[in-house]
Chain A
Amino acid sequence: MTLPPASPAIARAIAAVGVVKHFGSVAANRGATLDVAPREIHALVGENGAGKSTLMRIVSGMFPPDAGTIHVNDRDVTGWTTDAAIAAGVGMVHQHFMLVPTLTVAENIVLGHEPSRRGVFDRARAVKDVEALTERTGLRVDANRRVSSLSVGEAQRVEILRTIFRGARILLLDEPTAVLSPPEIHDLWRILRRLRDDGATVVLITHKLDEVMDVSDMVTVMRQGETIVRTPTRDTTPAALARAMVGREVALAGATAVAVGAAPAAPIPFNPAGTTQNRAISRDATPLSGGVRAVSPSAPTLTVRDLVVPSARNVRAVDGVTFTAIGGEIFGIAGVEGNGQTELIEALAGLRRATSGSIHLGAHDITRDPVRTRVDHGLSHVPEDRHRRGLILEYSIADNLVLGAQHQYSRRGVMDRDRIAANATERVAAFDIRPPDASLPARALSGGNQQKIVIAREMKRNFSVLLAAQPTRGVDVGAIEQIHDRLRAARAEGKAIVLVSAELSEVMALSDRIAVMYGGRFVAVVTRAEATEEILGRYMTGAAGTAGGAT
C-alpha cells in the first residue's frame, strides 16, 4: 500500500490515478485521475462520453480498470467489487432510479437488510429507522408512502437515503439533476451541503455548469477520457469550465462552417481560472429573427406552432414550441438531453401525439397524420436510437434500406425485390456502406455503417424536410465527417433540416440557426453568426434563465 506523498497528514477520500478503461475498441478512460478530499462536494464535469460515468463506476466497483489504481480513504482498493465498496462506505446513486415502485419508501430503503423479529418483517422498526434517518439527514419523505406515488425529486431523496442507510460516507451521484425541476435541484443542494457538513464526501457528475458553480467545493473536468482540470470552484468561471469541457473539438468538427464564429479555443492550462472573460449573453431569443438567407416562396418548410407534447413523466415535455425550418437551412436544436428534444422530434415524426399546437409540412397540416402520410408528404427522419427505432437489426441491409418506404417498393402488396436490390446496390455504393454486401443483416455492421444505412435510406426518398436526431452518436470519426457532408449537401439542394444533437460542437458546426431547448421550451434562437459556445452553454444550462424569451 502506498500512501499519497502529497498530503501525508490528510487522508484523501478518493484518489484515482492513471485509470484506463476500454470497451471493445472504444477507450472510455485513458489515464484519468480524480482526487477528492474528505468532506467536500466535488463536481466531475464533462461532455457526454467524456468518461465521467465510467470512472465513477470503476470507483464504485462495478467493473475494474484496465490500468491505474484506485485508493479510497488511503487504502488501495483497485478492482474491488460493489459489495466491498458498499462495505467500505462508498455508495452510488444511479441516474435511473433503482427503486421498486410498488413498495413503500421504508420497504425500498431496508430491502436487502430487512429488520425482522422471529422471521416476521418488522415493519414498525423499518419505518422507525427510516424516520430517524430522515430526521438526521433532513431528507424529508414519508416512509409509508408508495414509491410510485412520489415525485421525481422525492424518489431521488429515497435513493440517497437508501445509500446512506447502507452506510455510505462517500456518495457518488450520477447526473442527479437530470430529471429534477429547479426547486427540487435547490433542495438537493441543501441536502448535499448538510451531508457534507455532517462529514460525508460527495462526488457529483454533471454537465451543467451552473450546478457546479452553485454547489461544489472542487471541480474536475474530463474530456475524451482524460482529466483536464482540477480546481477549487471559487477560482474558476463557467466560461473557463465550458472551454475546458469542449476543448478544441469545435474547430476539428467544424471545418468550414465554423470559421465565422468561434475562434479556436486556446490550449487550456491545468488551472484556467480567470483566463477567459465571460462574454455578454445575447438576449435575442426571437424565433425567425434576422440572419437567415432569403428564401424562395416555393421552398419546403416545416412550421411548428405552440406544440405541446407529453411524455410518460411530464405532461408538458415539450411546452409550447414554435419555429419554422426553411428549405436551404439547417435548423439546429441544442440543449442538454432530456429537455424535450426527443419528444419534440417524435411528435414531428408522428410517433408521439401532441396535445395541442400544429405542425405543417409546406401547406399540409400533418399534426394528426400517421407516420406514413408524413413520409409521403416528404418528411424524413433519422431517429436518435437506431437500434430501437431506426433499423430492424435482423433484416438485411437491403430490407432496411426500404423501411418506411416499403409501400413504395411493392406492387399490389408484393415486395418488388428487383427494385429493392437495385436500390440497395446504389445506396451501398453511394454511401460507402461496409461491408458492401446488402444481404448481410444490419446487426453484423459497425455502428457507423449501421447509421449510414439509416442516413442513406432517409436521404434517398424525395424528402423536403429531414429530422436528424443525434445523427452521429456512437459513430466513428470517418463516418461523422461523411454524415456531416451529406447534411450540408442536402442543405445545398434546398432541403430543410432540423438537427438535434447533444454535441454542442456538432450543432455549431452545421447549423444556420440554433435554438436552445431547456425545460421543454426554446429559451433562445440565434443565428450562427451570433452563437458562441459561451452563450449557448449558458442557455443550455439554464444559467441564462428563461426570462429572455420571445419578444
Chain B
Amino acid sequence: MSTSATPLPPAASAAPQPPRPVAGQRGMRSALEEALLPPLVALLIALVVGDILILTFGESPRQVYRLLIEGTWGNPYGLGQVLFKATTLIFTGLAVSLGLRAGLFNIGAESQLAAGGFAAAVAGLTLAAGTPAIIAIPLCILAAAAGGAAVGAIPGVLKARFGAHEVIVTIMLNFIVLAFLNWIVAARMAVPETLHTAEMRAGTVPRLADSMGAFHGSAANWTILVALAAAGLVWWYLERTRAGYELRAVGLQPDAAEYGGVRVGGVWIRAMMFAGALAGLGGINQVLGYKHYYEDAFTGGAGFLGIAVALVGRNHPLGVVLAALFFATLSQGGLAIHALVPKQMVEVLQGIVILAVATSVPEVRRLLRESAARGVR
C-alpha cells in the first residue's frame, strides 16, 4: 500500500502556468553580481590608493603600472615567477575557501602549509636515492597532504568535540606548529650553518624551464598542474558528490543539514582535514618543485594570503585560481616596480583589497536586495 507514492491529481487551485525562465535568469544575474561586484569595487579602491602611494613617491602611476605588467606577464621569466607564486596561493586559497564553504574560518593555512612542506621533505629524505619518480613523487605529494591534514584535523576535532572556536584554535596552532617545526629543523635536521634540511633523495618535480627554455631562471614547476587539478577536484567534490552536498549544507544552514541526516560535527572534522590537506599540498611547490629541501619559514605568509585569495575568489575554485594569479602578479610586480616605488606598496594594496572586499560584500548584498525590492514594487 505504501510502496509507491501515487501521484495525486493536482489540486483544484492549480491552474497550468507557463514556465518563467525570466525568473531563473534574474536569479542567476543577481547571484553573479553579488559574487563579482565586491572584488571589482575592491580593485578600484586599490587602484586609487595605489595612485596616491605612487604619487607620494613622486612617480607617475601610469609608468609604475606599466612596469608592473611588463615585469610580470610581459616576459616569460616574470610570468614563470607569477605562476610559481600562484601555485602555492591556489592551494592555500582552496584550503581557506573549503573551510568557509563548511562554515569554518580556517586561519591555519600558514602552519598547515609548513607541515605539508615538512612532511614532503621528510618523505623525500626517507626514500632511497634513485626511487623512480613515478613512485617517489606521488608518495611525497601524499605525505604533504597528510602533514597538512594532521594539523587541520585538530581544530576540526576540538570544534566538534568541545565547541572550541576554530579561528582562535587555528591562530594559536600556527604559532605552535611553526615553533615546533623551527625546533625540529634547527635542532635535529638542519644542514650546519643553515635553517634547512638536506636535499631530498627522491621525489623532486622538474621545473617548467627544463622543457621550456623561455622560463629560464624562474621557479615555476609542474606542481602547478597538481594545483589546477586540486581546484577542479574541489569543485567536483563540492558540486557533484554527496559529501560536498552535505558540506555545503552544513556551511549554509547547520540546523537544516542536521535535519537532513547529516552529522554536523563529522562534516566539520572532515572539512578541516581536507582544508589542511590542501594547504599542506602547497608545500610541494616549494619543496618538490623548487628548493628540494624544507627550509624554516618558507611559507612567508602564503597561508595568510590564502585568506585574501579565498575572499576575492568568492570561495569558488575558479575564482580562487584567478585570485591566486592576481595576488601572485601583485607580489611579483612589487619586485618589478621596486626601482621606482618600494615593493612594500603591494603589501599595502593586498591589505586594502582584503579590507575593501570584506566591507563591500555586506554592502553590495544590501544594495542589491534593496534595488530588487524596488524593482518588484
Q: Do chains A and B touch in the complex (CB under 8 A)?
A: yes
Interface residues of A (CB under 8 A from B): 300, 327, 349, 351, 370-372, 375, 378, 381, 383, 388-395, 399, 403-404, 406-407, 410, 413-415, 417, 426, 429-430, 432, 434-437, 439-441, 444, 459-460, 462-464, 478, 481-482, 485-486, 489, 493-495
B5 and A413 contacting across the interface, CB-CB below 8 Å: no
Interface pair A430/B7, CB less than 8 Å apart: yes
A381-B259, A390-B259, A406-B246 given as contacts; is B6 within 8 A of A437 (CB)?
A: no
Instruction: Check if B252 sits within 8 Å of A395, measured CB to CB.
Output: yes
B32 within 8 A of A: no
User: Across the interface, which residues of A come within 8 angstroms of B10, CB to CB?
Assistant: 429-430, 432
Q: A161: shortest Cβ distance to chain B, in Å?
A: 34
Residues in A neighbouring B259, C-beta threshold 8 A: 349, 351, 371, 381, 383, 389-390, 403-404
Residues on the A chain within 8 Å of B14, using CB: 432, 482
Report chain B residues within 8 Å CB of A434. 17
A102 vs B5: C-alpha distance when bound (angstroms)? 53
User: Does B212 make an interface contact (CB < 8 A)?
Assistant: no
Q: Is the CB of A391 within 8 A of B243?
A: no
Judging by beta carbons under 8 Å apart, are B253 and A388 in contact? yes
Given the contacts A437-B23, A482-B14, A489-B8, A410 and B241 also touching, CB distance less than 8 Å: yes
Which residue of the partner chain A has the closest CB to B28?
Answer: A439
Answer yes or no: B3 CB below 8 A from chain A CBs.
Answer: yes
What are 9 A-to-B residue pairs whose CB atoms are below 8 Å? A388-B255, A391-B256, A392-B252, A392-B260, A403-B256, A406-B245, A435-B19, A481-B13, A485-B8
Instruction: Report yes or no: A414 in contact with B240, Cβ–Cβ below 8 A.
Output: yes
Given A389-B259, A410-B241, A437-B21: A486 touches B2 (CB 8 Å cut-off):
no
B59 interface residue per 8 A CB criterion: no
Decide: A436 and B23 in contact? CB cutoff 8 A. Answer: no
- Say whether, besides A392-B253, A404-B260, A432-B14, A415 and B242 are in contact (CB < 8 Å): yes
Min CB distance, A128 to chain B, in Å? Answer: 40
Q: What 6 A-B pairs are tightest by C-beta distance, nearest first?
A: A372-B261, A432-B14, A482-B11, A410-B242, A371-B261, A478-B13
Question: What are the residues of chain B within 8 A of A349 when measuring CB–CB?
Answer: 259
B16 CB to nearest chain A CB (Å): 9
Rounded to whole Å, the gap between the CB of B94 and the closest CB of chain A is 20
From A408, which residue of chain B is reached at the shortest CB distance? B242
Contact B27 A435 (CB under 8 A): no
Given contacts A393-B252, A403-B260, A417-B240, 17 further A-B contacts (CB under 8 A): A351-B258, A371-B260, A378-B2, A392-B248, A395-B249, A404-B260, A404-B261, A406-B246, A435-B17, A435-B19, A437-B19, A437-B20, A462-B4, A462-B5, A481-B11, A481-B12, A481-B13
Interface centre among A403, A481, A493 (most CB of B within 10 A): A403
B375 lies within 8 A of chain A by Cβ: no
Q: Is the CB of A413 within 8 A of B243?
A: yes
Chain B residue nearest in CB terms to A378: B2
- Chain A nearest CB, measured from B264 CB (Å): 11
Q: Which residue of A lies closest to B1 (CB)?
A: A494
CB distance from B373 to the nearest CB of A (A): 10
Chain A residues with Cβ below 8 Å from B366 are none
- Measured between alpha carbons, how far is A460 from B259 in the docked complex, in Å? 17
Q: Do A463 and B27 form a contact, CB below 8 Å, given A404-B259, A436-B17?
A: no
CA distance A414 to B238 in the complex (A): 10
Cα(A80)–Cα(B258), bound, Å: 44
A115 nearest CB across to chain B (Å): 37
- Contacts from B to A (Cβ < 8 Å): 1-8, 10-14, 17, 19-21, 23-24, 27, 240-243, 245-246, 248-249, 252-253, 255-261, 263
CB distance from B200 to the nearest CB of A (A): 34
- A444-B23 in contact (CB<8A): yes
* A444 and B11 contacting across the interface, CB-CB below 8 Å: no
A372 to nearest B CB, angstroms?
A: 4
Nearest B residue to A477, CB-CB: B13
Question: Which residues of the partner chain A approach B241 to less than 8 Å between Cβ atoms?
Answer: 410, 413-415
CB distance from B232 to the nearest CB of A (A): 15
**A432–B24 CA distance with the chains assembled, in angstroms:** 17
User: What is the CB-to-nearest-CB distance from A227 to chain B, in angstroms, rounded to a whole number?
Assistant: 30
Nearest residue (CB) in B for A411 is: B242
Closest to A299 in B: B1
Say how far A418's CB is from chain B's closest CB, in angstroms: 12
Q: Are B2 and A494 touching (Cβ within 8 A)?
A: yes
Least Cβ–Cβ distance between B310 and chain A, in angstroms:
18
Q: Which of B27, B242, B257 has the most CB of A within 10 A?
A: B242
Chain A residues in 8 Å Cβ range of B13: 432, 478, 481-482
Q: Which residues of A contact B256 (CB under 8 A)?
A: 388-392, 403
Minimum distance in angstroms from A366 CB to a CB of chain B: 13
In the complex formed, the residue of B with least CB distance to A432 is B14
B1 contact set on A, CB distance < 8 A: 493-494
Query: Separation in Å of the B130 CB from the closest CB of chain A?
Result: 38
| Complex Cα gap A371–B258 (Å) | 8
Closest residue to B257 on the A side, CB-wise? Answer: A392
Whether A462 pairs with B3 at a CB distance below 8 angstroms is yes
B128 to chain A, nearest CB (A): 36
Known contacts A388-B256, A415-B240, A415-B241: A435-B5 contact under CB 8 Å: no
Residues in B neighbouring A481, C-beta threshold 8 A: 11-13
Question: Which residues of chain B are within 8 angstroms of A444 by Cβ–Cβ distance?
Answer: 23, 27
Given contacts A432-B14, A434-B17, A482-B11, contact A413 B242 (CB under 8 A): yes
Q: How long is the Cα–Cα vector from A526 to B359 in the complex, in angstroms?
A: 58
Which residue on chain B has the smallest CB distance to residue A409? B242
A413 to B243, CA, bound (A): 7
Give the distance in Å from the alpha carbon of A494 to the alpha carbon of B14 in the complex: 25
How far is the CB of B271 from the nearest CB of chain A, in Å?
16
CA distance A390 to B256 in the complex (A): 6
Please give, as numbers and ranges, the residues of chain B lying within 8 Å of A489 by CB-CB distance.
8
CB pair A435 B23 closer than 8 Å: yes
Cα distance A464–B263 in the bound complex, in angstroms:
24
Say whether B245 contacts A415, CB under 8 Å. Answer: yes
Residues in A whose Cβ lies below 8 Å from that of B242: 406-407, 410, 413-415
Q: Is the CB of B11 within 8 A of A370?
A: no
> In the assembled complex, which residues on chain B have CB atoms less than 8 Å from the CB atom of A406?
242, 245-246, 260-261
Chain B nearest CB: distance from A231 CB in Å?
Answer: 38
Question: Across the interface, which residues of B come within 8 angstroms of A426, CB to CB?
Answer: 7
Q: Shortest beta-carbon distance, B245 to chain A, in Å?
A: 5
Q: Contacts of A370 on B, CB cut-off 8 Å?
A: 261, 263
Question: In the bound complex, how far is the Cα of B10 from the Cα of A406, in angstroms?
Answer: 26
Q: Which residue from B6, B12, B27 sits with its C-beta under 8 Å from A493?
A: B6
Assembled-state Cα–Cα distance A486/B260 (Å): 22
